[in-house]
Chain A
Amino acid sequence: MAEAANLHAAAPERARTGGEGSELSRAKVRSALLFLAPMVVVLFLVAGWPLIRTIWFSFTDASLSDIGNYGFVGVDNFYNSEWGGLLSDANWWTAVWNTLYFTFVSVSLETVLGMIVALALNVKFPGRGWVRAAILIPWAIPTIVSAKMWGWMLHDQFGMLNDLGMTLGLLAEPVAWTASPDTAMLAVIIVDVWKTTPFMALLILAGLQMLPSDCYEAARVDGVHPVRVFFKVTLPLVYPAVMVAVIFRALDSLRIFDLIYVLTSNSQDTMTMSVYARQQLVDFQDVGYGSAASTMLFLIIAALTLATITIGKVKLGGDPR
């Protein structure tokens, strides 16, 4: 019965002969395919087709004002000897670097902080439900709202962070957090860490709560130092859950748009691949070139996803019972 997850496309004719071959199982497979059809059609319409068109547009000189009227330009949007193309655009490479830097720093911070929060919430203490509810609040707040709330707190003239920093003597003068090239990326990372550490913490906590408690009892009876217990027992056991959370967060960070668009708008210091692609596509109306950037982002994320699935042996889409 248990078929390994096979990577061939669904073939209705062959599917009929699958299962036990009885009239009932054939009827089940028939209706299963019928049940799947609407979902598959809608998913193709909203995901497959637009993706195919975006990739197609990346080989054209289409413009947003007249999207139906375009010519085929080959790989000119990616590379050409005349004006360079995407691959020789320094701004694009800045956006690539910003995205990778943002992803690496924010996901690392979120993992460490998320682990600390998860460990704290894994201890039984009175009022644990309240603390867990409190950390769900940043997760529940819409990204745009988070960006505006922090934008106000980080305001250069009237922000409470500058006020607090100067009152406590930590800051000599007000800092233009979101506008200054030195701090803009830092501001974005702070807000992202605030917003998504709860997600990380909850996923790690779910992993922690599945661990057997007897190893801990044994370690405690033997008087092993808690820090040693963490690195020798907890971390290896919870590692798979942490890795899944890290991969989800990293793939999410690589496509970040909302937060940066609202907090620092089109500033070159924080521009990521998504922000760059949308600016070309919508602000500059250059659908061909913007689609080329979108396609590159898609390829980068697809390559990283494939790499993590193969290298990390993360089992995705395993066979249902």
Chain B
Amino acid sequence: MSHWSLPSKLGFVVLLAAIAIFAVFPFYYAIVSSTKAPSELFDVTYLPGFDFTNYAAVFREQPFARNIFNSVFVAVVVVVLSLGLGVTAAFALGRVHFRGRGALLLTVLSVSMFPQVAVLSGMFELIRALGVYNSLTGLILANLILTLPFTVWVLTTFMRELPKELEEAAYVDGATPLIVVRKVFLPIMGPALATTGLLAFIAAWNEFLFALTFTLSNEMRTVPVAIALITGASQYELPWGNIMAASVIVTVPLIVLVLIFQRKIVSGLTAGAVKG
């Protein structure tokens, strides 16, 4: 932009400022609202206060700590399962030639296009039949439909771009495919696993429809459902201060994670979409 004229430079700066403000302001305003005393909430101001009544109230008025635990537990188990199943499947799909591989990849990709609601009644029946209704196990099972397809897809994309010579020496030395996966691929897949794992974590952390439908009691709810169902004395008196405090609590760790891993996330997203 060194050769730009002054008006273009100014216009560009205004554009960038508009983009940044539009992106960040709603979250900033949530912080502002959450740190106001409940009595001041209804006056619109733009500077944060230092009142943490709302934060205390969130934990006092519902089992919010338990909800956070539920979300973390479900998301972590879902990530571990997806990566475990995804790595071996990606090895088979990315490094071995067999008939039907293209069809299988296409099937996996098409599952990620499924509308969640299309499996809702079948999943409800399955969860009832397995006796895991209103339990974290049920949510873990249901969440796999969201995370498994793109984990397999992204890891396969990654695997097939590695040079062919990589595992050949190991095979010559008599290694079995399982040893090749463990000793040759796993050590160099750290970055790919971190990226896919993080994207799977975010997907499971944000999941709403299954968590809303397959849980019943406050204690089993995950964070998104808990926040969506925060209610006040009546339908018309939603405790907005509490809702904003809860929103900030669950969003800050996510934003920190995303900012730390931003380069990896961008490459993971593009591997999942553009290279498809």
Contact = CB atoms under 8 A, between A and B. Distances in A.
Given A39-B148, A142-B206, A148-B247, A18 B97 contact: yes
A7 B107 CA distance: 10
B255 A262 contact: no
Contacts of A42: 81, 85, 144, 148
B226 to A, nearest CB: 9
Nearest to B118: A298
Interface residues of B, number: 103
Interface stretch (A85-93, A102-110, A287-295): A287-295
Interface in B186-242: 202, 205-206, 208-209, 212-213, 223-225, 227-228, 240
A299 to B, nearest CB: 9
Interface string A294-321: 1101100110010000000010111111
Contacts of A291: 121
Nearest to A305: B113
Contact of B41 (A15, A158, A261): A158
Question: Size range of the interface on A?
Answer: 35 or more
A39 B88 contact: yes
B12 interface: yes
A56 B244 CA distance: 42
Q: Which applies to chain A's interface (DSSP): helix, strand, loop or mixed?
A: helix
B1 A152 contact: no
Contacts of B49: none
B122 A53 contact: yes
Contacts of A164: 44
B176 interface: yes
Q: Which applies to chain B's interface (DSSP): helix, strand, loop or mixed?
A: helix
Interface of B: 1, 12, 15-16, 19-20, 22-24, 26-27, 29-30, 33, 41-42, 44, 81, 85-86, 88-89, 91-106, 108-111, 113-126, 128, 141-142, 144-145, 148-149, 152, 156, 160, 164, 171, 176-178, 181, 202, 205-206, 208-209, 212-213, 223-225, 227-228, 240, 243-244, 247, 250-251, 254-255, 257-259, 262, 265-266, 269-270, 273-274, 276
9 contacts: A7-B106, A18-B97, A35-B88, A43-B148, A67-B128, A144-B224, A295-B118, A297-B118, A316-B109
Interface of A: 1, 3-11, 14-15, 18-19, 24-25, 27-29, 31-33, 35-36, 38-40, 42-43, 45-47, 49-54, 56-57, 62, 64, 67-68, 116-117, 120, 123-125, 130-150, 152-153, 155, 157-160, 163-164, 194, 198-199, 202-203, 206-207, 241, 244-245, 248, 251, 254-255, 257-258, 261-262, 273-274, 277-278, 281-282, 287, 290-291, 294-295, 297-298, 301-302, 305, 314, 316-321
